[in-house]
Structure 1
Amino acid sequence: MPTTRSDFSGPRDLREMQAMCSRVWSPTARFHPGQLAWNRYSQPLDRDGMGRDEAISLWRIGDEVVGFGWAESPDWLELQVDPDHPQVAGDVVDWFEDWSDAPQQSAVAMAGDGVEPVLREAGFRPEPDGWHFSHHLLDLRELPPVHRVAGYVLRPVEQDEAALRAAVHRAAWSGLGPSRVTTGAYAQVMHAWPYRSALDWVACDDQRQLVASALVWLDEATGVALVEPVGCAPAHRGRGLAGAVTLAALHRSRELGAHTAQVSPRGDDDYPGPRRLYQAIGFRPVARTVTWTRSLP
């Protein structure tokens, strides 16, 4: 059957992209379905449209998505292609070149992925020593117990707590720049598949203020639970709260049928803290991303 392309038109398309990610998931696959939900909905947006400087396009064979390109900006491409249809990678790169007018462009791929020869042929060059993400996995049969932190209570969030949940995320991530996670954006996250409030855990201090959080996305089809994101407000760091809420959410995911957990922290030495946290829990690296760049005349 021929391959067809269509531009992103709303939540239904995202759900089809997630279905592909679930269908082709492996330890070396670029995306877990939960990552797409977080990337898309954790910012204010028109659910049915695109931002001014971004674009998404999908490739299908029949009714099944077999690849997509997500231009997060004119100089940055994220892509994933069904390994059974590697020819789609060339179409994705050609689409990005036609859409983007940036003189320098970057694309992210998993090391050893089938899209790498296509990127190389298109003039991209790898930057193996640059910043990258490292896929880590944990067999949930080996999950350590939740450690309690004196003075704090761990619990899942409620569906009506979008404002509080967004606020604790912003507090945790403020050191990296202004966060786009507004109350409205987090409400979108909470309505996205495969979000479950039972897997969205927070730590509360003795004033009942939310001070740390961990969100886990369980894909029932694969049994893989993705941790994304985790954070702790600066004033409460150093007590083990980030690890505690992560473990609490993972224990609940195991109760709901997950057998494997995944997390993808930075793998380079410029931002080592999260990686150390996850490895202390028992996560081990299995794959990494590589950024490819090219300059156009």
Structure 2
Amino acid sequence: MTRRDFAGPDDLRAMQDLASRLWSPTSRFHPGQLAWSRYYRPVDPAALDDGEAIAIWSDGDETVGFGWAEAPDWLELQVDPGRPDVAAELVDWFEEVSDAESQSTLVMEGDVAEKALAAAGFVPDPAAPWFTHHTVDLADLLPVPDLERYRFRHVERHEARERAAVHAASWSDFGPSKVDERAYRQLMDAWPYRPDLDWVAVDAEGRMVASVLVWLDESHGAGLVEPVGCVPEHRGRGLAGAVTLAALHHLATLGGTVAQVSPRGDDGYPGPQRLYRSLGFRPRARTITWTRSLT
């Protein structure tokens, strides 16, 4: 087994290949989630931000784990369930690259890494926000509602600026978005992005007012919904749900069989979960936040 540090897009693809190989409705990552996490902001594809670190573990040509210290106090990880030894090495690596006095990570309940986290002094944090993987069988999709004065379509590659703008406006409640034209062009170039699964609602003047991005992992027929948004002045009209259904119906025509989305499961931000359940999504598995203090 070998460990290497992140050196560019090929390493992101190795992480995505692991996520694809392990994917199920109860696994931590979908390949599309890793693409979004990497390119939701402008980045140098071959370099990481200050304070960020990624390591990848391989056994021969097969990726068996990765750790992504998105910040000194926050770790994302995935480990092949058949290789619990990787989890212990990964936790040790995080301590090496992090100088934070408090450290946290998010894993699925029952994840193979939990034993290694507990041995290193991490404990579950019941007060932390948590997320639930929800899925829907595409054979059971509700019809797309007909909303007067709006239509739904997929984007074209030349529309990166407009597509970035509708996302940024939709998420303005949470502060200035890092998604801009440059970031969205990078996202469009990342696997497994495809414009025919990037859908928008447009108003009577043709302006994008709501959006949904769906990522298809063809090896499982699994589509990930990430992210969804609607600009504030057009909310309350069912656009977020309608554009999501439009994209998922198209996903089904491409051979998709199941869709996943991962909204918050706690009471701190219940709106998205209510939306997805109204579309037919049902909960399958949840995350647990583990935290330790090194002071």
The TM-score with structure 2 as length reference comes to 0.99
Aligned ranges 1:247-262 → 2 under 5 Å: 247-262=245-260
Q: Which amino acid aligns with 2:71?
A: S
Deviations 1:171-230 (A, max 9, x none): 000101111101000011111111110000001111211100000000001110000000
Q: Which amino acid aligns with 1:131?
A: P
Match of 2:101 among 92, 103, 122: 103
Instruction: Check if 1:174 corresponds to 2:156.
Output: no
Q: Which amino acid aligns with 2:156?
A: E
Quote how far apart the aligned CAs of 1:111 are. Answer: 0.6
Match of 2:36 in 1: 38
Instruction: Check if 1:66 corresponds to 2:64.
Output: yes
Aligned ranges 1:108-187 → 2 under 5 Å: 108-187=106-185
3-state SS, counterpart of residue 228 of structure 1: strand
Q: Which amino acid aligns with 2:237?
A: R
Match of 1:50 among 48, 51, 72: 48
Quote how far apart the aligned CAs of 1:250 are. Answer: 0.4
3-state SS, counterpart of residue 171 of structure 2: helix
Quote how far apart the aligned CAs of 1:126 are. Answer: 0.2
Instruction: Check if 1:234 corresponds to 2:229.
Output: no
Number of residue pairs matched? 295
Q: Which amino acid aligns with 1:17?
A: M
Q: Which amino acid aligns with 1:115?
A: A
Instruction: Check if 1:84 corresponds to 2:102.
Output: no
2: distance between equivalents of 1:133 and 1:183?
29
Quote how far apart the aligned CAs of 1:125 are. Answer: 0.7
Match of 1:12 in 2: 10
Quote how far apart the aligned CAs of 1:8 are. Answer: 0.3
The TM-score with structure 1 as length reference comes to 0.98
Q: Which amino acid aligns with 2:284?
A: V
Quote how far apart the aligned CAs of 1:127 are. Answer: 1.4
Q: Which amino acid aligns with 2:45?
A: R
Q: Which amino acid aligns with 2:243?
A: V
Structure 2, unmatched stretches of 5+, are: none
Q: Percent identity?
A: 62
Instruction: Check if 1:28 corresponds to 2:26.
Output: yes
2: distance between equivalents of 1:153 and 1:140?
21
Q: Which amino acid aligns with 2:171?
A: W
1: distance between equivalents of 2:249 and 2:80?
31
Quote how far apart the aligned CAs of 1:148 are. Answer: 1.6
Q: Which amino acid aligns with 1:247?
A: L
4+ runs deviating over 2 angstroms: none
1: distance between equivalents of 2:30 and 2:109?
16
1: distance between equivalents of 2:263 and 2:41?
20
1: distance between equivalents of 2:136 and 2:79?
25
The root-mean-square deviation of aligned C-alpha atoms, in Å, is: 0.7
2: distance between equivalents of 1:214 and 1:12?
26
1: distance between equivalents of 2:90 and 2:122?
14
